[in-house]
Amino acid sequence: MSDAAAPRRMHEISDETHAVVDVVLDYARRRALYEDIPLDKPLSPRELSRLASGSITADGIGARRATALWENVLAPACVTTDHPTYLSFIPSAPSKAASAFDLVVSASAIYGGSWIEGSGAVFAENEVLHWLASEFGLPAGAGGVFVQGGTIGNLSALVTARDAARRSRREAGRALPDRWVVVCSAEAHSSIASAAAVMDIEVATAAPDEHGRLHGDAVEAVLDAHGDAVFAVVATGGTTNFGIVDDIASIADVTKARDVWLHIDGAYGLAAMLVDRMRPAFAGVERADSVIVDPHKWLFAPFDACALIYRDPGLARVAHTQHAEYLDTLTDKADWNPSDLAIQLTRRARGLPLWFSLATYGTDEYRAAIGYGIDLARRIADEIAVRPGLSLVRDPELSVVVFRREGWTLADYQAWSDRLLEEQIGFVVPSSHAGEPVLRFAILSPLTTFEILTDILDTLA
> In the beta sheet, which residues pair with residue 233?
183, 262
pLDDT at residue 45, rounded to an integer:
96
For the stretch 152-165, pLDDT in tens is 999 999 999 999 99
Weakest-pLDDT range from 6-15, 19-28, 367-376: 6-15
Percent over 70 (pLDDT), the chain:
97
- What's the CATH number of domain 363-458, 3.90.1150.170, 3.50.50.60, 3.40.1160.10, 3.65.10.10? 3.90.1150.170
Provide the whole-model pTM.
0.94
For the stretch 75-124, pLDDT in tens is 999 999 999 999 999 999 999 999 999 999 999 999 999 999 999 999 99
Average pLDDT score over residue span 53-79: 95
Q: Same topology for domains 111-355 and 363-458, yes or no?
A: no
Average pLDDT score over residue span 172-181: 95
The CA–CA distances, whole Å, from 184 to 210, 231, 432, 434 equal: 16, 12, 20, 18
Q: What are the boundaries of each domain within the chain?
A: 1-78, 111-355, 363-458
Cα distance between residue 366 and residue 375, in whole Å: 14
Q: Which residue has the higher pLDDT, 401 or 326?
A: 401
Strands 400-405 and 202-206: unpaired
The CA–CA distances, whole Å, from 306 to 116, 133, 238, 300 equal: 23, 13, 15, 12
Average pLDDT score over residue span 236-240: 95
- What's the CATH number of domain 111-355, 3.40.640.10, 1.20.120.530, 3.90.1150.10, 3.30.230.10? 3.40.640.10
